[in-house]
C-alpha cells in the first residue's frame, strides 16, 4: 500500500507497535494458564474458528511446514486436536479441536487481557472513535 497511501502504512506500523509492545504479559499469563508453549496456543486459537489442513494452519499462524507438523503432533499427543481425512480430498487431513482442545481454548480466552497503559491517555470519545474504526476494519 506504500505508494498509494503512505499514511495508512504509518498508522498500521504505529498500531502494530502498540499491540506488540504490550502483549508480553498476556502471553506469559496464557502460557502459565494452559501449560502450553505459545506456538501451540496460536494453533489452537486458529482451530477454534474452524478445522483446517496443516497447510492452512501454517499460513494462518505464519509458521513453516516443519514447525506446523511438530506443533500439530504435540497437540495431538496431548489430546487437544484430532486429524481426520478430508472429505473433499482424501489425500489430505483436516485438523480440528477435540472436546479437551475446546476446553483449553476456553481457558485461554478467560485469561485477563486489559487495555495497556497507553489507552489511559485516550478520552472516552477517542476510545469510541477507535472502536468505530476497528469495527469498520474488521467488517471487511
The pLDDT tens digits of the residues spanning 103-118 come to 999 999 999 999 988 8
User: What local confidence, expressed as pLDDT, does residue 140 receive?
Assistant: 67
Whether residue 53 has pLDDT greater than 60: yes
User: What local confidence, expressed as pLDDT, does residue 83 receive?
Assistant: 96
- Lookup: cell for 31: 502460557
User: What local confidence, expressed as pLDDT, does residue 76 receive?
Assistant: 98
pTM more than 0.85: no
Confidence of residue 3 (pLDDT cuts 50, 70, 90): low
Question: What's the full length of the chain, in residues?
Answer: 140
Candidates 1.10.10.10, 1.20.120.530, 3.20.20.70, 3.40.50.10440; CATH matching 23-111: 1.10.10.10
User: What local confidence, expressed as pLDDT, does residue 120 receive?
Assistant: 92
Share of the chain above pLDDT 90, in %: 79
Contact indicator for 51, 96 with CB cutoff of 8 Å: yes
Cα 94 → chain centroid:
19
Contact indicator for 53, 93 with CB cutoff of 8 Å: yes
User: What local confidence, expressed as pLDDT, does residue 118 receive?
Assistant: 87
Amino acid at each position: 500500500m506504500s505508494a498509494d497511501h503512505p499514511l495508512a502504512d504509518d498508522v498500521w506500523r504505529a498500531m502494530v507497535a502498540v499491540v506488540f509492545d504490550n502483549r508480553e504479559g498476556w502471553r506469559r499469563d496464557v502460557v502459565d494458564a494452559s501449560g502450553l508453549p505459545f506456538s501451540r496456543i496460536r494453533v489452537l486459537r486458529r482451530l477454534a474458528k474452524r478445522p483446517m489442513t496443516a497447510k492452512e494452519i501454517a499460513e494462518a499462524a505464519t509458521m513453516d511446514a516443519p514447525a506446523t507438523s511438530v506443533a500439530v503432533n504435540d497437540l495431538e499427543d496431548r489430546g487437544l486436536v484430532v486429524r481426520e481425512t478430508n472429505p473433499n480430498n482424501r489425500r489430505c487431513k483436516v485438523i480440528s479441536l477435540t472436546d479437551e482442545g475446546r476446553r483449553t481454548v476456553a481457558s485461554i480466552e478467560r485469561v485477563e487481557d486489559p487495555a495497556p497503559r497507553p489507552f489511559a491517555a485516550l478520552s472516552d470519545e477517542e476510545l469510541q472513535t477507535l472502536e468505530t474504526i476497528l469495527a469498520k476494519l474488521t467488517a471487511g
